[in-house]
Amino acid sequence: MLTHVLREHNLNKILLSYLGLWPFQNELARSLLPISYLVLQMTCYPLVIIMLYDHWENSRLVFECCSQIVLLTTFVAKLTNDFWNHDKIRQLCEAMEKHWSTFTSEFETRVLKDYSLISRKFTILYSIIMFSMIAIFLMVPLTPILLDIIRPLNESRPRFFAVSIEWRIDKDKYFVPIFCYNMSIIVTGTIIMVGIDTMHVTCTVHACSLFSIISQQLEKVISELGIDKLSEQVTYQEYVICLRKYQLALEFVDVLNSMYRTVALIMLLMTGAIISLVGVRIVYVLNQLEEVMRFGLVIIGMLMQLLILCYSGQKLMDESQNVFYRAYAAKWYKFSPRLKSLLIITLYRSFIPCGLTAGNIFSLSMATYATVVRTGISYFTTFLSLKD
């Protein structure tokens, strides 16, 4: 039983259960729900491609189609990655439960609780922000209908959809079913983003708590080193226990990184593409407030996802580096030979910070975030010069 995990991260369990990605739910749900979401998202690809084919001469619609393909690819990649790596999600959850049983002192439990509270607050806040943005995004196409009711004109105002796709049918006649289909695509995509992103951040924050505990305990063990033999023996045993816990933290991060590194690389590429493509699309509709709001929310949402991904990776690097800094500050000349050998091992391993990567190519950090945004803006200016 995942007693501690369910107590601290029950909201993450609920969000993943809606996607069929919670590793301990019914096996039928774990198979049908993700496949249903994948099929629903992928049905949008042919419609967007048809629209791209029909309006190839219209650069405005070409940019819009490309941006929709990028968003769909993001949703599909995230869901496919977690569906394919369901065993690793189980492994991460079981490891988190094991950590709560291993780090049992009052100090360790307090740190674990503090960090789990941070992840819980983030999950709630992120969910509220994303679903609020999507609610606004979906309300924009309903504005003409509401205005027709509140302030009717001699003729109905033109209607549009949150996601423009080509159906080759009368869109006014079939407005309701098309709108429901668009809404299902957007809502399921948002659930995918929120559920997977919050679980990723929860695991990363948990890893940060482990490194925080280890770095502080390491400093405490070293500072309490005495000069008599008995004290040295006690210190050695405590140091060994600390290193074993350090190994648990490293193994946890290895599993976490192996699970998300591919989708992290996709996120970097897709965010840069969204900034450039949707940015150009906004330029076409600067005189239409509703359209500017609609596409602006898309860019804000993608930037927010990438910021969370990179900031959590940066925080993990910082916490893991604290292990090196505190070991480096030790008065090594007071150590016995065997303690010195352990200190050398600690310094050697912690010298390179432990963090998350995107495809084992880029580290997830704020520097990477700045690079992606700068690159996206560069391509935006290039596409802007070609839009006419």
Give the per-residue pLDDT at 183: 84
Q: At what angle do helices 175-223 and 59-84 cross, to 10 degrees?
A: 50
Average pLDDT, integer, range 155-162 = 66
Mean pLDDT of the chain: 83
Residue 120, token pair as written in the block: 């819980």
How would DSSP label each residue in 55-112?
TTT-HHHHHHHHHHHHHHHHHHHHHHHHHHTHHHHHHHHHHHHHHHHH--SHHHHHHH
Residue type, 6: L
User: What b/e sequence results for 305-314 when a residue is b if at least 16 CB atoms lie within 10 Å of its CB, and e otherwise?
Assistant: bbebbbbbbb
Q: Among 33, 6, 214, 186, which Cα is nearest to 96's?
A: 6
The whole-angstrom separation of Cα 113 and Cα 97 is 13
- The pair phi, psi for residue 159, each rounded to 5°, is -105, 150
Q: Which residue has the tokens 């950590």?
A: 99
**pLDDT tens sequence across 70-80:** 888 888 989 99
Q: What is the pLDDT of residue 352?
A: 81
Indicate the pLDDT class of residue 56, thresholds 50, 70 and 90: confident
Q: Do residues 330 and 221 touch, judged by C-beta distance below 8 A? A: no
pLDDT, position 104: 85
Residue 257 CA to residue 139 CA, distance in Å, equals: 38
Cα 165 to its chain centre, rounded Å, is: 27
Residue 156 has a pLDDT of 67
**Predicted pLDDT at 254:** 92
Q: What is the pLDDT of residue 290?
A: 67
Q: Residue 159's pLDDT band (boundaries 50, 70, 90)?
A: low
Nearest to 243 by CA among 207, 217, 272: 217
* The two structure tokens encoding residue 372: 């992606």
- Please tell me the pTM assigned to this model: 0.88
- pLDDT at position 386 is 63
Question: For the segment 326-371, what is each residue's pLDDT rounded down to a tens digit?
Answer: 888 777 777 778 878 888 888 888 788 888 888 888 888 898 889 8
The tokens for 22 are: 């919670």
Give the three-class secondary structure for 362.
strand
Ranking 91-95, 132-136, 189-193 by mean pLDDT, the lowest is 132-136
What residues have CB less than 8 Å from 334, skipping those under 6 apart?
Answer: 225, 227
| Digit-coded pLDDT (tens) for 179-214 | 888 888 888 988 998 999 999 999 999 999 999 998
Res. 247: pLDDT tops 60: yes
Q: Number of C-alpha atoms within 13 angstroms, CB side, residue 6?
A: 8
pLDDT for residue 123 = 92
241 φ, ψ (degrees, to nearest 5): -60, -40
Which amino acid would we find at residue 334? K
Residue 357 forms beta bridges with which residues?
A: 363
Q: Cα–Cα distances in Å, from 293 out to 135, 196, 319, 322? A: 12, 25, 38, 42
Closest of 51, 66, 122 to residue 298, by C-alpha? 66
Tokens at 268, concatenated: 């970097």
